[in-house]
Amino acid sequence: MDASNPFLTEWRTPFGLPPFSAIRPDHYRRGFDVALREHEAEIAAIANDPTPPTFENTIEALELAGETLTRVGAVFWNLAGTDSTEDLRAIERDISPVLARHFAAIALNELLFARIAALYENRENLALSGERARLLDLTYKSFLRAGAQLTGADRALFAEMAEQLAELEMKFAQNVLADEENYVMALEEADLAGLSDAAKASAAQIAQDRNVPGAFALTLSRSSVEPFLSYGERRDLREQLFNAWIARGEHAGDTDNRSIIADILDLRRRRAQLLGHRTFADYKLEPTMAGSPSAALDLLDKVWAPARGRAGEERAALQQVADAEGANFRIAAHDWRFYAEKLRLRDYDLDQSALSAFFQLENMIAAAFYCAERLFGLHFMPRPDLPAYHTDVRVFEVLDRDGRHLAIFMGDYYARTGKRSGAWMSNFRGQRKLGGEMRPIVVNVMNFSKPSPGSPALLSLSEVTTLFHEFGHALHGMLSNVVYPSISGTATPTDFVELPSQLYEHWALRPEILQKFALHHETGAPIPQDLIDRVIAARHFNQGFATVEYCGSAYVDFLLHSRLDAPRDVVGAEREILLDIGMPREIAMRHRSPHFSHIFAGDAYAAGYYSYLWSEALDADGFAAFEEAGDIFDPAIAKRLHDFVYSAGNQRDPNEAYRLFRGRKPEFDALLRKKGLARVQA
């Protein structure tokens, strides 16, 4: 063992946190090499065990195997997403196919699968507890889905395609990051007409951080792009920035993702068909709440018609605003946000930039913590003494209602060079009880604009809900209370995993929360009640646009993965899908295919981007339970929510988990009511 490599020694840090300051890039590859050999030996010992298979010597042994590999991978993949460097990208290119090959070999290990299958076939006689029975079922089916029953040349082909996919998905992600890192729009002060002082300060900070000639600059981070598209008065610059934003991954040269996507689609389709599925979508939806492509597509279709109808009404209203100002053009995609803000101000007297003055990042973090305390009895103690991977990262110890340690929570809120765009939750360590109690280390990653020194970070309404959304995921990880690591925390189907996050959004803009935490950053005055009333009155404003841009992406994802062939011209196929569904020309997809990392930088959400809509139907119906009780912190409902959703991992079928929480099956009509689309016609 190499005592100088942190991954190969015991971590004596508080709470077993990674010793971030001691880790160098060259430690990763050596750590992976040793961990892979260790895991191979553990798997061989399980597969070649001469004693008959038992739950303990096979399923539990599998759960405990690969601990070093999990530890190395958790640190590496988290930092590859938040603080990527060329050194890390080189390791990523090197290790991705190696890991794919390693896990394919485990899935295709005939002796290992024979032991798992023997237990599964005898499961009725094993007298297993509910969680154990669930784990056995999931383990057996996961091996089937990974090709365990394939024979002959098909086995080798399946493994080879897994390795190819890993390389392609890694390359896709690196290309998107490169396009985002390499683009900077330098601006003069006059170019920022219409922007708030906070947005100007952010643009100044970007110019300073990126060493851009001139005083101001914008990047392709959403927190940089959307304020300019919403308030920037220079239409030509809005168009230039918007076109760069939607063209990530679509430039001829080294970062072109178009042919990569075609290859990914082809490999996914072929692998699914080797397993006996008609399409990749059929394969992917088999273990989900939806259960089949038809169920997911039915939900999309149910929402699409009224959303498109509402978007048509919104488009006409925006055009009237533009025409009244003397505009001699038809509203285009790069105009929508700009004129929507004018319309919001006219109809609801809501200026989003002025509203942001009440949404200080510090207070919104406190609001998210407060709701968790009221619902689940949690306490968040700042721990600046604990190690973190970047100076921007905040670390908290999380205590339960009895003052016992529950988790470590890290908040990484600001955009920076080397950080992947978007927002997400991840683990440095998951929760488990097998082999001894292990509590999780959870991180939330955002890309909010970093303010200049001495200035507060002010969030938009959408950024506030993003913060609550990702914190809902974090709670799902931190509250996990199961025995087995592979079913803990967020290890659930994608159309259920978004329920805890989207449900938590509901608390963000409740009057009870706004009155307590939405304080003006200069005066400290609470947000006025009449402003809260206007925010609530405008909750359905622009909902046609928001739903259409999301559904456009969901349809493209779903229909690309539902084909019996793989189109070589992916952008052309995207265009045809949007034409067939009647996508309004004035609205762009939320994520176009060449930078759609949800579905092409890995397959977690591939053929599953619909999941956000499915979970939104659940969260609308679920939050109604609190509304019906007349208390958004109702203790009895909060306990059921904790017991059957947030703490339960994947220890039971998610449809049953929802029924136990809500007392019945979900009512999907609640989704249209939530969006204000219940009576809208196409």
* Angle ∠(64,69,74) on CA atoms, nearest 5: 105
Q: Do residues 246 and 472 lie in contact, with contact meaning Cβ atoms separated by under 8 Å?
A: no
Q: Does the active-site annotation cover 470?
A: yes
**What does the alpha-carbon distance between residue 63 and residue 56 come to, in Å, rounded to a whole number?**
10
Helix (H) or strand (E) holding 639: helix 635-641
In this structure, what token pair is assigned to residue 587?
């609205």
> What residues contact residue 652 under an 8 Å CB cut-off, 6+ apart?
130, 134, 660
380 φ/ψ angles, rounded to the nearest 5 degrees:
-115, 115
DSSP 519: B
Q: At what angle do helices 543-560 and 293-324 cross, to 10 degrees?
A: 140
> What residues contact residue 409 under an 8 Å CB cut-off, 6+ apart?
380, 395, 396, 397, 398, 442, 443, 444, 474, 478
In this structure, what token pair is assigned to residue 589?
């997809």
The string of DSSP codes covering 16-80 is G---GGG--HHHHHHHHHHHHHHHHHHHHHHHT-SSPP-IIIIIIHHHHTTHHHHHHHHHHHHHH
Q: Which of 470, 498, 505, 549 is catalytic?
A: 470
* Residue recorded with tokens 């939320």: 590
Q: Do residues 203 and 217 lie in contact, with contact meaning Cβ atoms separated by under 8 Å?
A: yes
Long-range contact set of residues 62-68: C-beta below 8 Å, sequence gap at least 24: 62/139, 63/135, 63/432, 63/434, 63/484, 63/485, 63/486, 64/434, 64/435, 65/39, 66/35, 66/38, 66/39, 66/42, 68/7, 68/8, 68/31, 68/34, 68/35, 68/38, 68/39
* Residue recorded with tokens 């006219």: 346
CB 385: neighbour CB atoms within 10 A? Answer: 7
**What does the alpha-carbon distance between residue 276 and residue 299 come to, in Å, rounded to a whole number?**
26
**What does the alpha-carbon distance between residue 538 and residue 535 come to, in Å, rounded to a whole number?**
5
**What does the alpha-carbon distance between residue 71 and residue 85 come to, in Å, rounded to a whole number?**
20
**What does the alpha-carbon distance between residue 302 and residue 297 come to, in Å, rounded to a whole number?**
8
> What residues contact residue 648 under an 8 Å CB cut-off, 6+ apart?
481, 482, 657
Encoded amino acid at 83, one letter: D
**What does the alpha-carbon distance between residue 556 and residue 576 come to, in Å, rounded to a whole number?**
9
In this structure, what token pair is assigned to residue 3?
């005592």
Q: What's the maximum distance between 2 C-alpha atoms anywhere in the chain? A: 83
Tell me if residue 443 falls in helix, strand or coil: strand
In this structure, what token pair is assigned to residue 541?
């404003």
Which residue in 507, 541, 544 sits closest to 350, CA to CA? 541
> What residues contact residue 646 under an 8 Å CB cut-off, 6+ apart?
376, 475, 476, 479, 480, 500
Is 276 exposed, middle or buried, given 0-12, 13-18 or 19+ CB atoms closer than 10 A?
Answer: exposed
Residues with catalytic annotation?
470
